[in-house]
Amino acid sequence: RRAGERANAERKRSRETSLATVCPALEEVAILHRTMLGAAAAAKLREAQPITETELQSVHLMQPQERNRAGKIFGGFLMREAYELAYATASAFSASSGVASGAGSGAPTLVAVDDVTFTKPVSIGDVVSLQARPESALARTNLHS
């Protein structure tokens, strides 16, 4: 039970310190600035491609077969849908830009998944819209979905 309380407290703290609610700290601003400078330098190496040409979207009507014991949509199903969209986006982007994404195969490779937080339950009958886009394309493609 204590582990659950600690996890809930950590999620609450994470929501309260999220960039969606508070301004970035000076250290975070410096990281963003370095990232922006790196992206600007990378853009000089190749012709820029509008993000609208690399972004993919999907819309899903939530069905009862994907419900959990609480009658809501199972989080693992939502994560799989997000992963599949990210994979398709990476595949399409790497094919159109010539970026090699896989271990010699040209196929995208999942390297890591950041912490996944579900802020609200998804009910049966809800319409869920997902979108994915490449974040960078230097040595590898990072996707946010």
pLDDT at 141: 47
Question: What secondary structure letter does DSSP report for 65?
Answer: G
Over the chain, what is the mean pLDDT?
A: 81
| CATH 3.10.129.10 domain residues, the chain | 49-145
Phi, psi of 33 (to 5 degrees): -65, -45
**Number of CB atoms found within 10 A of residue 102's CB:** 13
State pLDDT tens for residues 80-107.
999 999 999 888 877 665 554 444 456 7
From 14-18, 68-72, 80-84, 97-101, the region with the lowest mean pLDDT: 97-101
pLDDT bucket at 128, cuts 50 / 70 / 90: very high
Architecture of domain 49-145 in CATH? Roll (3.10)
d(CA 78, CA 60): 10
Write down the pTM of the prediction: 0.58
d(CA 35, CA 136): 10
